[in-house]
Structure 1
Amino acid sequence: MSTPLNRAALGLPIPPVRLVHLGLGAFFRAHQAWYTQHAETDPADPQWGYAAFTGRSPVMAELLAAQDGLYTLVERAGDGDRHEVIGAIAEARAAEDVDRLRELLAAPGTAAVTITVTEAAYHLGAGLAFDPSVPAVAAELERLRTGAGAPATMAGRLVAGLDARRRAGAGPIAVVPCDNLPANGTAARHAVQGLAAAVDPRLGRWVEEHVSFVSTSIDRITPRAEDELAETVARETGRTDRAPVVTEPFSSWVLSGEFPAGRPAWERAGAVFVDDIEPFENRKLWLLNGAHSLLAYAGQLRGHSTVAEALADPDCRDAVEAFWDEACAHLTAPGLALLDYREALLERFANPRIAHHLAQIAVDGSVKLPMRAVPVLTAERAAGRDGRAAARMIAAWVAFLDGRTQVQDTAAEQILAADAGPDRVRALLGLLDRELAGQDDVVDLITRLAAGLAPTTR
C-alpha cells in the first residue's frame, strides 16, 4: 500500500518563492528544479523556491498542486534507478494564471525567471530577430495594447509580468532561458524587449535598463516517462506519485550573464559560470543535439524507435561519428575536452534503460536543423569541403518527410507544401537556409544522400 506524496508526511518545508519558471515540463523538473534543490546550503531550511507555470496544458499544475509541488525524480542508470523527491517547486500554476505571474514578478524578492518552452515558442523572425509581422507576435501585440484578452505567448506573459514589476518599482531581475537555441539569452532579449518596446517604448527602455538576459547551455537527457513509471515508483518507494520524471544521471548547466537580484548557488550542484558561452553552446548543439536529430530521422527510416536502438545500428553510429568529426573541426576553443565529451555521449546514448524516443526528438525539425546541421555544413563548405556528414542529417530529414500527409512541426503547412512540390529537396532546404538552397551542388548532394535513405518502415 503506497502513501501519497505530501510535505507534512516527509517533513519537507515549502521554500519561499524567489524564482519563477515558464514551461512546467519534465526537463525543467529534471534540471533547473533539481539544481535549485541541490544548491541549498541547508536542505531542511531551503531559501529558494519556484513558482512554475505550465505551457500548453494545465494538467501538470493540477497534478503537482495535489501533492504539494512534490514529485519523484528517477535517475535511470544502466545498473539501476535512484529515486529522489524534489521539493523546489513551491507553487504549480497554469499558464493562463497571468494575474499570479504579475504578482510574483512585482515582488522585490523574486530574483529570476527561468524558461523552458520550445525553440518555436520564441516566435522570432529571421536571424532570431524580433519581427512584429509574425502572426503570433502581431496577435500578442494587439492583446497587450488593448487589454482585450490575456497574453498567450511566453514573451507576452513575461512582458505583462515585467510591466507589473516596473510599475511596482521592484528593481532589476534576471531572465534565464534554458532552451536549445544558439545565444538563447540574446534570443530571449529580442523576443521580450522587442515586444515590450512595441507595446510601450517606456517599458522597452525599462527592460533594457533593468532586465539581465543570461545565456545558458543545458544538458540532461529527459525522455517522455513511460506509462508504467508511476506504478514502478510506487512499488520501489512506497509512495504514490502521479507526476514522476525519469532522467539520466548526467547533468550539465553552463551560464553566462548577470544576476542583479541574486540567485541560488547553483555551482554547488555542478553548474558552471563562464564569460564566453558560445563554444559550450556549439559543443552541445552540434554534438549532442545534432546527433539526436540525425538519429531521429535516419534511425526511424531504418525502423528504430529509440536513441539506444539507433546507436546500436552500425550505419547510424557511423553517420553520427562522421558528423562529429566534421563538427569538431570547428570547435577549437580551449576547455571543451571533445574526446571525453564524445565518449560520454556514446555511453549516455547507449544507456539501455533510457527510452529516449526518436519520434519525440524529430518534432520541429525545421527549427532544430538550422542550428544543428546548417552551421556545420556551412563551415565545412567555407573550409573547402563538401560537408557530406552534415548534409546527411538534412538528407535524412528530407527522406523522412517524403510523402507524409502529417508532420509535427511549427512549419508543418510550409513543409507539406514544399514536400509536394516539383523541386521538393530545394524547397525543403530553403526552409532551413535560403543561401544553401540556392547552391545547386548542395541540393544535388542532399538529393543523392536522401535517395540512399529509403525507409524500411513507416
Structure 2
Amino acid sequence: MSTPLNRKNAALPDSAPVRLVHLGLGAFHRAHQVWYTQKADANWGYASFTGRSAKMSDALTPQDGLYTLVTRSGDGDSPELISSLVEAQPAANVARLVELMADPQVAVVTLTITEAGYHLAADGSLDESNADVASDLAALASDSLEGSLELKTAAGKLVKGLAARKAAEADGIAIMSCDNIAENGPLTAGAVLGLAEKVDADLAAWIKETVTFPSTSIDRITPATEDSLIADVEAQTGFQDNAPVVTEPFASWIIEGEFPAGRPNWENAGVEFVSDIEQFERRKLWLLNGSHSLMAYLGQLRGHATVADAINDSNVRSHVEALWDEAANHLTAEGLNVPGYRRSLIERFENPRIVHNLAQIAIDGATKQRMRAVPILKAELAAGRPGNGAALSIAAWIAYVLGTEEVRDTRASEIEEAKLLDDAPLALLGVLDSELASNEVISTHIKKLVTELS
C-alpha cells in the first residue's frame, strides 16, 4: 500500500518561510520557477495561487505543497520530490494574497497567467474595454482600494496587494512575468500601472518609485499531467501523489532587472542574468513558441495529436524550418547561437516520452499568434521579403478556427463574430492585426493559403 505524501511521511523538516508569491499555480510553474528555487536556495518558500479553479490547491494542500517532478527522457524517468512550494492557495483567496504582499519578507511576485491573463490591448496598454478589467476598475475605485476583495484580474489583485504593501510602509518588491510575451516586464508594468493610475494617483507614483518589473525568458516543455502519471509516480516512489508534474530534461531561465527586496540565488541553479534580454525573449518566443503554434494548427489540420507526431511529418517540419529561417533573419545578437538552438528544439520536439498535446497548445491562439507569427511576418515585410513561413502559420490558425465548432480562446466572442462575416478569413486576420488585414497583398496571400489548407 502506498503512503500519503506529506512532510511528516516524507521525513522533511519544517518548510521554508514564504518569501515568494506566485499567480498561476499550474504545471509549468511547478516544473520551472519552484524547481529552480529549490535547487538554488532552500531558505525561500513559495506561496502560489491558482489561476481560476481551486482544483490544484485542493490537491496540494493535504500534501503540504509537496509534489513529484518527473523528468522524462528517452533513457527513462527521474522522479524528484519538490518541497519549495510551501503554501497552495485558491485564486479566490485574495485576502491571503494581499496579506502576503504586505509582508516585508515577501520579496518577489512571479506570474504565469498566460498571455491572455494580462488583458492587454494591441498596443500593449491595459484593455479597459475588457469586462473583467472594467469590473476591477469599478471595484477598486468604489472602495478606494479598501474593502471589496471581489477582483477578477491579476492586475487588479496586484494593485490591491501593492496598496496594502504601501500602507504597511514595506520596502519595494519585484513583480516578474514568466509568461511567453516579448517585453513581458514592461507589459506587466503597463497592466499594473494602467489600472493603478485609474484608481489612485498616489499609489501609482509609489509603484513607479519602488516596484520593479524584471523581464524574463523562460523555457521548459511541460505537458498537462495525465492520470497515468499518478500511477507511475506511486510505483516509482511509494507515495500517493495526487499532483505530480512531468517535464523534459531541458530548462532555461534568463532574467533582466532589479530586485529591491532581494531574491533567491537563482544563479546557483543555472539562471542567467543579462543586461539586455530582448533578443533572448524573441529567440524563445519566435522559435520555440512560434513553431509550437504553427504545429498546433497545421498539425491538427493534418490529423496529428502531439508535437512529436507533427514534427515527424515532413510537410509540417518543412514549414517549421521556413518559419525559423524567417525568424533567424532578425535574431542576430551575440550569444544567441540560433543554429544550435534550432537543433536542440528538434531533439526536444522528437522526445517520444513527452506527450505534448497540440490541442493544449492551440488554446488562446488569437493572443498567442499576435505575439508569435505576426511580429515575424511584419519584420519580414519591413525587410522587403514576403514572410511566407509566418503567413502560413497565420493561415493555419485561421483555417483551424474556421473548421472548429467551439474555439477555446479568451477572445472567443471576437472570433465567433468574425466567423459570421462574409469574408471570414479577412475578419479573422483583423482579429490578429488590423494593419495586416488592411494590406491587400498580404491579406490576399493569406486567404489563398487558408483555402489551400481548408
Q: Distance in 2 between matches of 1:202 and 1:132?
A: 20
Deviations 1:282-310 (A, max 9, x none): 00000000000000000000000000000
Instruction: State how far apart, in whole Å, the 1-side matches of 2:219 and 2:149 are.
Output: 36
Q: Name the CA distance, whole Å, in 2 between partners of 1:6 and 1:227.
A: 20
Match of 2:249 in 1: 249
The alpha-carbon deviation at position 48 of structure 1 amounts to: 0.2
1:83-125 CA-to-partner distances (Å, cap 9, x unmatched) read 0010001111111111111111111111100011111111122
For the residues of structure 1 that align with 2:273 and 2:108, how far apart are their CA atoms? Answer: 16
Amino acid at match of 1:20: V
Q: Could you state the TM-score of these two structures normalised by the residue count of structure 2?
A: 0.97
Q: Deviations over 1:382-410 (max 9, x none)?
A: 11111111100011111111243310111
Q: Which residue of 1 aligns with 2:414?
A: 414
Q: Which amino acid aligns with 1:299?
A: G
Number of aligned positions between the proteins:
449
Distance 1:403 1:80, change over 3 A: closer
Q: 2:109 aligned to 113, 134, 147, which one?
A: 113
Report if the CA contact (8 A) 1:121-1:154 is conserved: yes
Following the alignment from structure 1 to structure 2, what is the Cα–Cα distance between the partners of residues 346 and 297?
A: 18
* Paired AA for residue 39 in structure 1: A
- Stretch of structure 1 that moved more, 171-180 or 119-128: 119-128
Write the letter of the residue equivalent to 2:38. Answer: Q
The equivalent of 2:225 in structure 1 is 225
Q: Report SS of the residue matched to 2:249.
A: coil
Deviation at 1:149, TM superposition (A): 4.9
**How high is the sequence identity, in percent, across the aligned residues?**
57
Q: CA deviation at 1:132?
A: 2.9
The answer to whether residue 123 in structure 2 is matched with residue 127 in structure 1 is yes
Report the counterpart of residue 394 of structure 1 in structure 2. Answer: 394
CA deviations 1:308-363 (Å, max 9, x no partner) are 00001000001101110111011111100111100000000000000000000001
In structure 2, what is the equivalent of residue 86 of structure 1? 82
- Paired with 2:158 and 2:10, the residues of 1 have a C-alpha distance of 34
Deviations 1:147-192 (A, max 9, x none): 4552121111111111110000011110011011111111110111
Matched, 1:448 2:444: no
Superposition deviation, residue 130 in structure 1: 2.2
Q: Which residue of 1 aligns with 2:313?
A: 313
Give, as a single letter, the amino acid of the residue that structure 2 aligns with 1:393: S
What amino acid sits opposite 2:108 in the alignment?
A
Partner of 1:136: 132
Amino acid at match of 1:34: W
Q: Hey, what does 1:69 align to over in structure 2?
A: 65
Q: 1:311 & 1:304 partners in 2: Cα distance?
A: 10
Partner of 1:96: 92
Which SS does the other structure have where 2:63 is aligned? coil
Q: CA deviation at 1:7?
A: 1.2
Q: Distance in 1 between matches of 2:216 and 2:387?
A: 28
Runs of at least 4 residues of structure 1 off by over 4 A? Answer: none
Distance 1:96 1:416 in 2: 30
Q: Deviations over 1:37-80 (max 9, x none)?
A: 0002xxxxx21001111111111111111001100001011120
Shift of 1:133: 3.3
Tell me, in whole angstroms, the C-alpha distance in 1 between the residues paired with 2:139 and 2:74: 50
Alignment of 1:277-292 (within 5 A): 277-292=277-292
Q: Secondary structure at the match of 2:8?
A: helix
CA-based RMSD: 1.1
Residues 1:29 and 2:44 aligned together: no
Provide the C-alpha distance between the structure 2 equivalents of 1:142 and 1:413, rounded to a whole number of angstroms: 23
Residue type at the aligned position of 1:74? V
Task: Give distance in 2, aligned partners of 1:382 and 1:187.
Answer: 24
- Report if aligned partners of 1:125, 1:134 keep a CA contact under 8 Å in 2: no
The whole-number CA distance in structure 2 between the counterparts of 1:385 and 1:171 is 50
**1:126 partner SS:** coil
| Structure 2: runs of 5+ lacking an equivalent | none
**Residue 44 of structure 2: which of 20, 23, 48 is its match?**
48
Q: Does 2:336 correspond to 1:336?
A: yes
Question: 2:259 & 2:203 partners in 1: Cα distance?
Answer: 20
TM-score, with length taken from structure 1: 0.96
How far apart, in 2, do the equivalents of 1:59 and 1:404 lie? 28
Q: Which runs of 5+ in 1 are unaligned?
A: 41-45
> CA contact under 8 A between 2:3 and 2:9: conserved in structure 1?
no
What is the rounded CA distance, in whole Å, between the counterparts of 1:211 and 1:12 in structure 2? 35
Which residue in 2 is equivalent to 1:427?
A: 427
Contact kept? 2:95, 2:149, Cα under 8 Å: no
The match for 1:43 is none
Deviations 1:19-46 (A, max 9, x none): 1111111110000000000002xxxxx2
Secondary structure, in 3 states, of the residue corresponding to 2:52? Answer: coil
Residue of structure 2 in register with 1:367 after alignment: 367
In the alignment, which residue of structure 2 is the partner of 1:295? 295
**Mapping for residues 234-245 of structure 1, pairs under 5 Å:** 234-245=234-245
- 1:127 counterpart SS class: coil
